[in-house]
Structures are given as structure tokens and as C-alpha cells.
Amino acid sequence: MATVYNLHPDTPQKRQVEQIRDALRGGAVMLYPTDTVYAIGCDLNAKSAVDRVRKIKQLSSDKPLTFLCSSLSNISEYAQVSDSAYRLIKRLIPGPYTFLLPATKAVPRLVMNPKRKTTGIRVPDHVISQALLQSLGNPIISTSATTAAQAETKMAQAELFDQLDKLVDLIIDDDRTAVGYQMSTILDLTETEPQVVRQGLGWEAIADWIEG
């Protein structure tokens, strides 16, 4: 059974955050809240944990994994950011947007797109996610814990916890009754002009000037 941590959504307890950090450094896999959906994640640099995330989600080795960074400067360590991409990202973060960017050598091959050498990165507008990122000092893998079908039914948090209790090591409970069900908006920034890969949460706020 997973260890459950009850974290305050606005002021997460420092001691518990540090306990979670230590577990992640030791290769733990967690179920945790973000500003979009509940996610399954681990330390980006914990290879055995990344392998487990793939198995839990039944993802093939050529399926890239998105990860969270704490800031734009943090993104620049893991991706090549052009001037135009920099301006766009700066305008949108933190928020529910995933950016596809050319990966640097700091990105483990296990998580990037093997053919395009690209990676998907988000900077979450979420207190708990940010607290974990700051404490860990590394990016955190973030793949949706729910399927598209489960998202449509707006699964209750308790049901999600029950389903994954024996598959993950840690469950972070942020005291909410329902899980988020809207995915992030995905923008491909590998070319000069941004390309919309998926319209998700936050899309309406940027549709006019992205498409314009």
C-alpha cells in the first residue's frame, strides 16, 4: 500500500514535502496533484522509477514523457529555447501549457522522443507541485493518472487513489474531492511559428493571439 501524505493546498507542510523529496530521490513513484490533472510522477533522473511509470501507464519506450520544471531558467537547462519561444513561454508560465522543445543532453533518453530528440515541459501554476520541484531540485515526470474515458466521467479522488494504491509508493492528497479532468494545451515550439498540438486547459485564453 502507498504512503498517503495530506498536504495543505496553499501552504504544504515543509516536513512532509521533505519526506516526499527524500523518497523521490530514493526512486519512489508518486500520485500527485497538478494544475491540470492528477499525475503519476517521479524524479526525472531516477531511471528505475521512470521505468515503473511507463509500466503503470503501459507506455512503450518510444512514447515521450512530459516533465515539470520550476521556472523558465530551469527549462533552459533541459531544452533549447529560441528567442521567440522564450518570449512565448515567459508570457504563459506558470500555467496549463506543455511546450515541445529540442532537448539538451540533460534530458535522459528514456523520457524524450527518440526520433525528434524533443521533450515536453510544463511549469505548473500549483503550490504543491512547485513546492516539490523546489525541494527536489530536479524536474518531475508528469503523466496523467487518468485515461480519457475516466476524465470524461470526472472520477472522484478517492476512486483514483484506490485504483493506484498498490501501484505507486506515495499518494499526495490535497484535500479536494474531485480530480482535475482537463489536460494541458500542447504547443510545439520546435519551429519558428508555434504549432498547436492539442487544445486543452487554458486554450481559450490564448487562442486569438496564437492563431493570429
β-bridge partners, 172: 5
Helix axes 14-25, 127-136, angle to 10 degrees: 60
> What pLDDT shows up at residue 177?
61
Q: pTM of the prediction?
A: 0.94
Q: What is the DSSP track for 7-61? A: --SSS--HHHHHHHHHHHHTT--EEEE-SSSEEEE-BTT-HHHHHHHHHHHT--T
148: three-class secondary structure by DSSP = helix
> What pLDDT shows up at residue 158?
86
Determine the average pLDDT of the residues in 178-207. 89
- How many whole angstroms separate alpha carbon 167 and alpha carbon 159? 14
Q: Which domains does the chain have, with CATH numbers?
A: 3-211 (3.90.870.10)
Interval 3-43: pLDDT, tens: 999 999 999 999 999 999 999 999 999 999 999 999 999 99
> What pLDDT shows up at residue 170?
98
> What pLDDT shows up at residue 9?
93
Interval 52-103: pLDDT, tens: 999 999 998 888 999 999 999 999 999 999 999 999 999 999 999 999 999 9
Interval 147-171: pLDDT, tens: 766 666 677 788 899 999 999 999 9
Count other C-beta atoms under 10 Å from residue 5's C-beta.
20
